[in-house]
Amino acid sequence: MNIQSLKNLFRGIYGQHDTEPVVFFAPGRVNLIGEHTDYNGGFVLPCALTFGTYLLIRKNNGKVIRMASSNFDYSAEISLTSVQDKRPGKWYNYPLGVINQLIERGLKPEGMDLLFSGNIPNSAGLSSSASIEMVTAKALVDMFGLDVDLLEMIKLAKKAENEFIGVNCGIMDMFAVGAGKKNQALFLNCDTLDYELIPLELGDYKIVIANTNKSRGLADSKYNERVAECSAAVRQLSKHKKITQLGELTYQEFVDLSHHIPEITVRKRAKHVISENQRVLDAVTALKKGNLALFGKLMNASHNSLRHDYEVTGNELDVMVEEARQCEGVLGARMTGAGFGGCAVALVKADAVEKFISRVGERYQEKTGLQPLFYVSEAGDGVRKIG
């Protein structure tokens, strides 16, 4: 991303000023394994990406917050007296939700101009929303000298998504976007928020993200339905073992207790969460031992569980993963993100990446009619000020 071009765009929108805008950046994230475990108090293993969202910000000495994006045609001019009001269907609800959380923590709203520019595909499952939320939080905390540390920023960004946007997401996306580090995966306990950075030493292999270009609006998907199904499982299991989240159970404990869940669908949802939790633990061990073959097998098992037990993949993701697995040099492939469209992630031998993109892309398009996009990913650093 050309920062000078963004500054020129900023001036074109908001006019010349003696004060230069300050530039902040928050990455997207890809989850390597551990899907739909975060809001169940389980384990996840994401990493931050090297592409994400840029935010240019400057105080304007007025009584309005002005927001624009290089990615969308429409912008906003919001009175300081109405920042608490949600604008249905507008992208700037994400920064507004964060601003409202910061007001609760001592932010006194001032007039300011904000320009967002991102290169994360929207609705692809790579956390474009969390990236916007975290870059907004970091910028305002720095600009206004608020006593809010990184962990509190992560928590308030999650709260903004839950309460202002209306998506019952967990904390993984914000955590990876905030605390990610270059060439490392983030092993996070979503219950305690304890985390460990795991060296992502892939040797001759690359992480390839495959965008199905089948978009899904997360708030309008069946995501909230899955949250409710998991809550139902907890209510039924807690009558026989004291738990508040599915992530508290080992897989063997679930096997012993699962007959207490009468609804087959709810039982399948719980089975996925608890088995996926164990797969994350096994994946961390595999990475520490340099056993990439095992890591790939765990990725495959993860997708199979998401497809059959959690039922969040859909035709496009299944086709993408099936075609990826048939390519030479692929250790494993799975959907990543909430599902219902979005992206898959594969572990591909470096010298096979070009052929992988060509072959999988061609076959996927033949079967779905959609043209996919591919990104060769590296683990990058989390949210930060860059200029």
Going by pLDDT thresholds of 50, 70 and 90, the confidence category of residue 217 is low
Per domain, the residue ranges of the chain are: 3-197
Q: Which residues pair with 68 in a beta bridge?
A: 115
Question: In the prediction, which pLDDT does 109 show?
Answer: 84
- pLDDT above 90 (res 155): yes
Q: What is the pLDDT, as a whole number, of residue 61?
A: 87
Which pLDDT does position 135 carry in this prediction? 98
> Could you identify the residue written with the tokens 């000023």?
17
Rounded percentage of the chain residues whose pLDDT exceeds 90: 85
The answer to whether domain 3-197 has CATH 3.30.230.10 is yes
- Per residue in 79-116, pLDDT (tens digit) is 999 999 998 888 899 999 999 999 999 999 899 999 99
Res 294: pLDDT: 98
Measured CA to CA in angstroms, residue 31 lies from 93, 123, 162, 236 at distances of 24, 15, 20, 29
Q: Burial, 281: exposed, middle or buried (Cβ in 10 Å; 0-12, 13-18, 19+)?
A: middle
Catalytic residue among 173, 309, 318, 381: 173
**How do residues 257-275 score in pLDDT, each as one tens digit?**
999 999 999 999 999 999 9
Instruction: Respond yes or no: is residue 173 known to be catalytic.
Output: yes
pTM across the whole model: 0.91
Percent of the chain past pLDDT 70, that is, above it, reads 97
The per-residue pLDDT for range 7-27, each reduced to its tens digit, is 999 999 999 888 999 999 999
Q: What is the residue-averaged pLDDT of the chain?
A: 94
Q: Which of 206-215, 220-229, 235-244, 329-338 is least confident?
A: 220-229
Burial of 149 (0-12, 13-18, 19+ CB in 10 A): exposed
**What's the rounded Cα separation, in Å, for the pair 78 and 356?**
47
